[in-house]
A and B are shown apart, each in its own frame.
Chain A
Amino acid sequence: QKEVEQNSGPLSVPEGAIASLNCTYSDRVSQSFFWYRQYSGKSPELIMSIYSNGDKEDGRFTAQLNKASQYVSLLIRDSQPSDSATYLCAPRNEYSGAGSYQLTFGKGTKLSVIP
């Protein structure tokens, strides 16, 4: 059973601060990792993908990956109230060696940015 662990939160940060969201995964062979944002009552939307160890920056978002530690994180700089949402971590797993893949989602971390 492939598992993805996230702190459920809520994580509360003041406006303008850095929010740090963490995720660990059990499948050592996962090569691709995705972060989704889900606003209350809405469907998830893709905000970041990362494939190599290290950091990947996109605007106020930075994804960090450490495959040896099976750890991926998302940093949100200059947090805004509009960032308040649940953030879902999703490694991509191969299905039974069949050359087909699926995303396994963590249960998400609820972020609240306080004005």
Chain B
Amino acid sequence: KAGVTQTPRYLIKTRGQQVTLSCSPISGHRSVSWYQQTPGQGLQFLFEYFSETQRNKGNFPGRFSGRQFSNSRSEMNVSTLELGDSALYLCASSLDTGGDGYTFGSGTRLTVV
């Protein structure tokens, strides 16, 4: 059974650019959640998508956005990148909303220079 797949694994971007990260959940999982992980703040919730609808949103600026497609795959976008956006971005999937047993992907390491 395939796990949660995130692409790309690594990214280096310049301040002001935008970036799109992709997540394919486990087959049959309809919920995809995104987290940002930094050494100082730990894992912080960005948003959750369920059946193509954003169900939850964390306390991040509007530069962070996402969407989910009909096959449950999800993308997140960060516009006008700032140095502080450098982090590990983790996607997690679960059968239903709310992370009753999330499975995480390997993450995308974003570095903003």
User: A: which residues have CB within 8 A of B?
Assistant: 32, 34, 42-46, 49, 88, 90, 92, 94-95, 98-108
* A46 pairs with B45, CB closer than 8 A: no
23 contacts between A and B (CB under 8 A): A34-B102, A42-B106, A43-B104, A49-B100, A90-B99, A92-B98, A92-B99, A98-B55, A99-B97, A100-B48, A100-B50, A100-B55, A100-B97, A101-B56, A101-B100, A102-B33, A102-B48, A102-B56, A102-B58, A103-B45, A103-B102, A105-B35, A108-B42
In the complex, the chain B residue whose C-beta lies closest to that of A88 is: B43
With beta carbons under 8 angstroms apart, the residue of A43, A92, A94, A107 that contacts B100 is A92
- Residues in A neighbouring B105, C-beta threshold 8 A: 43
Within 8 A of A (CB), among B1-56: 33, 35, 41-45, 48, 50, 55-56
Nearest Cβ in chain B — how far from A42, in angstroms?
8
Distance to closest chain A CB from B34 (angstroms): 11
Give chain B's interface secondary structure class. strand
A43-B107 in contact (CB<8A): yes
| B101 at interface by CB-CB < 8 Å | yes
How many residue pairs at the A-B interface have CB separations less than 8 Å? 63
Given contact pairs A32-B100, A100-B97, A105-B43, a sample of 10 additional A-B residue pairs in the complex whose CB atoms are under 8 Å apart: A92-B100, A100-B50, A100-B55, A100-B98, A101-B97, A102-B45, A102-B48, A103-B98, A107-B41, A108-B42
Judge whether B90 and A44 touch: CB under 8 Å.
yes
What does the 1/0 interface line of B60-82 toward A look like (CB < 8 Å)?
Answer: 00000000000000000000000
With an 8 Å Cβ cutoff, the count of chain B residues facing the other chain is 24
- Residues of A contacting B100 with CB < 8 Å? 32, 49, 92, 101
